[in-house]
Every structure is written in C-alpha cells, then in structure tokens.
Amino acid sequence: MASIPTWLRARTRLVCGAGIVGLLAAPLIVAALVLLAGADPFAGAETGFAFGALWFGFGLLGWAGSVAVGDAVEAAQRRLDTGTRWTERSSRRAMARVGGFGAGLMVGTATIGTLIGTL
C-alpha cells in the first residue's frame, strides 16, 4: 500500500481539524438556540444547520475568490508597498478552515436534528 503524500495529509488535517471543531460546536449552538432564544429543539437544529451552511458557503466563496484573484491582489499590494504580508496561499488556507468549520457544523446539527426527529 502506497503511503499518503505529505501535501495531501497536510491539507486533509487542515480541513478535517476545522470540521471537528464545527462538529464539537454543533451541540453548543443548538443548546444556545434552545435555551437562550427559546426555539424548540428541532428548529434549533435547523437554524444551526443554516448557520453552518452560511460558514461553509462563505469559506467556499472566499477560497474561490482567493484562487481567482489572489495573484492580482498580491501584485497590487507589492506595488503599493502595503506591508500586509497577505498571500493567496494564506487566504486559501484560512478559507479552507472556515469552510471545514461550516461543514462540520452542518454534519453535527444534521445529526442532532435526526436524533431529535426520531424521539
């Protein structure tokens, strides 16, 4: 069996690590919606899913934007001498984390909603 390439392992760890954080945040978000906002548990799970989808979509859109115009933004910042140290690579990594968090939150809240729906 061939070993997993280092680049794939690093990217998988990045996205899955954020997904685990989202998965762990799901019960907290659903509980907060139920206890603080007064929503019923199933509606709390649905709202939590929508919140996760928002984060996932923002991460996906940001990642695609970084890929599409990242070189131009880097060139403009070099030309203007902004000194921000923003790079396309760091932006893609950040957006992958945001998207991974949203995906984990969606999986977690969908699981909670399924469990609540079967009760």
Condensed to tens digits (0 to 9), the pLDDT of residues 67-86 reads 999 999 999 988 998 888 88
Whole-structure pTM value: 0.89
List the chain domain ranges: 7-118
Average predicted confidence (pLDDT) for the chain: 93
How many CB atoms sit inside 10 A of residue 100's CB? Answer: 22
DSSP letter at 36?
A: T
32-62, pLDDT tens digit by residue? 999 999 989 999 999 999 999 999 999 999 9
Distance CA 34, CA 114 (A): 16
Task: Using alpha carbons, select from 51, 52, 92 the residue that is nearest to residue 71.
Answer: 92
